[in-house]
Amino acid sequence: MNHAQWEQLLAVLEGQSVDPLPIGFIVDSPWLPPWAGMSTLDYYASERLWLEANLKAIRAFPDVWFLPGFWSEYGMCTEPSAFGARCVWHENELPFADKTIRSDGGLVSAADLEQVAQPNPRTDGLLPLVLKRLVHAQPAIQAEGHAIRFAVARGPLNIASFLMGATELMVALKLEPAACHKLLTTITAFLVDWLQVQKQEIGTIDGILVLDDLMGFLGDEDFREFAFPYLKQCFGAVDATVRFFHNDANGSVCAPHLAAAGVNLFNFAFQHSLGDMRRLLGPEVTMLGNIPPRDVLALGTPQDVRQAARAALAGLSDKRRLVFSCGGGIPPGVSTENLRAFIDAARE
């Protein structure tokens, strides 16, 4: 984000009216490489191509806030790689992180959960490469008038699900709660360290983005026990003005607790209307949403996008603390034409 966009975002978070209506999208490797005309593997492997793709996006859509902006990541492999996950790469598909905690008939042992060691983000897995990419690209990003604004991490439950499997995690929360707490404590301590390292290396960072869809699989009691305390620790890792949480699974359970966890910006699933989500969040948290990302923004026509955008805004009388977007990150296949249709509808 450039300085003007960042100042506008801060104004939105404070509840000020910003005209025109702000537009922001989470953008990363599912969408950027094919849209920019390169393979996914080339995007990961080349600092030059990664930078070119990000620059192409901000130049094509100068009025859009791309969040977190210049996201240095290796798909879902980034954090699991630090725990020793085998990463499987494909030319035009997202990489896959293999499990490190094996199960027997869908069950994992307490001993295996408790033995997971805390990685060092400065030395382990792909994390040092993420940092170096940001450091190397920082002069070119600043020359474009932008800055690296966010420290980014997948959330504790998200990482746990990659280490052991989503189903296995949900079962373990019920059968081995004490061992799960030990695992989540280890993962969260690592995440706090990882967010702090990013802030230390990149002085322009004043935001945190944590992404954790697995929290949307929990009921209220389990969210309070297994998600809330660890999420709060992540958002307290560094002193950050913007505290951005993404969960595009069911957001109705986590939403009422996000302000208490330190969150002030929330990207949620398109199944929740803007009006319903405002009631769940309360007045303090800014919304980032909300039209269907795949079925409309990617697969629809420009007219479909315009109609969905108008419908999403129609039921919301107060558009303060809103950044207009889709319900999740931009998925593969979203065309320039559809993004422009979205922008046009938001500007009407």
Burial 176-190 (b: 16+ CB within 10 A, else e): beebbbbbbebbbeb
Amino acid at 111: A
Statement: residue 205 has pLDDT above 80? yes
304, burial (CB in 10 Å: exposed 0-12, middle 13-18, buried 19+): middle
The whole-model pTM stands at: 0.97
Alpha carbons 323 and 265: distance in angstroms, whole number: 9
- Residue 68: asked if its preceding bond is cis (omega within 30°), the reply is yes
Per-residue pLDDT of 243-299, as tens digits, reads 999 999 999 999 999 999 999 999 999 999 999 999 999 999 999 999 999 999 999
Which pLDDT belongs to residue 169?
97
197, burial (CB in 10 Å: exposed 0-12, middle 13-18, buried 19+): buried
Alpha carbons 223 and 254: distance in angstroms, whole number: 7
Alpha carbons 230 and 184: distance in angstroms, whole number: 7
- For the chain, the average pLDDT equals 97
Alpha carbons 289 and 14: distance in angstroms, whole number: 18
Alpha carbons 252 and 281: distance in angstroms, whole number: 9
Question: What architecture (CATH level 2) is domain 3-347?
Answer: Alpha-Beta Barrel (3.20)
CA separation, residue 243 to residues 42, 197, 201, 294 (Å): 31, 17, 19, 26
Domain residue limits, the chain: 3-347
Statement: residue 348 has pLDDT above 90? no
Statement: residue 318 has pLDDT above 90? yes
